[in-house]
Amino acid sequence: MAGTYRLKGIELGSVPKGVSLLAVAVFRLSRALRSETTKVVSRDNGPGLVSWRIMAGLSLVDEATQKQLVEFTRIGQAQISRHLGDMLDQGLIGARPSQIDRRTKLFFLKDLGRQTHAKLYPDVARLSGAMDRALSHHEQLQFLEMCARIEAAAKQAAQDLPESDTPTVRNETGHTLQEAIL
């Protein structure tokens, strides 16, 4: 009977056949790090993770296009668009048309956005420092090199697969259904 079993989370010691142990571990690590950062930037009615990432990007430049913010944050276009609208309404950022292409908006931090970024920055920096200190400099370099190798192997394996007519479906965070499950 199908209803008598309860599906539980994948344990790293017993990953099902056909599922990458490394992918499961990396997705879990990513979720955990994202969760901790979200806690920091969401305290006291803070802006939340996506808006924080947008503010972090805008703190580095005078202004940026939505496309540039998508590239910087690695967050999907629709989600960035929603957050930009919310941030405009909250007075954190401003926007003006580009002089080069009037169809393109340029976004910038307003005073409230700069103040919010400055208030959150020390706590985010402490959290980031604690994460980075978990590994020695040599271990960090090894980890980054291993990540690059795994990414290259995944890209190569995906290229080697036969073509499919099935479109890739992504959720609101830009993850495929399989990524969201893991």
Up-side HSE of residue 140: CA atoms within 13 Å toward CB? 8
How large is the average pLDDT for residues 122-138?
97
Q: 14 falls in which pLDDT band (50, 70, 90)?
A: confident
Q: Can you tell me the distance from the alpha carbon of 129 to that of 36, in angstroms, rounded to the nearest whole number?
A: 13
Q: What is the pLDDT of residue 84?
A: 97
Query: Of 148, 62, 140, 70, whose CA–CA distance to 106 is shortest?
Result: 62
For the segment 135-173, what is each residue's pLDDT rounded down to a tens digit?
999 999 999 999 999 999 999 999 988 886 666 666 666
Is the model's pLDDT at 130 over the cut of 70? yes
Is the model's pLDDT at 178 over the cut of 90? no
Mean of the per-residue pLDDT values for the chain? Answer: 89
Give the helix/strand (H/E) hosting 93.
strand 93-97
For the segment 66-113, what is each residue's pLDDT rounded down to a tens digit?
999 999 999 999 999 999 999 999 999 999 999 988 889 999 999 999
Q: pTM higher than 0.85 for the full model?
A: no
Ramachandran area for residue 96 (φ above 0: left; ψ -120 to 50: alpha; else beta): beta
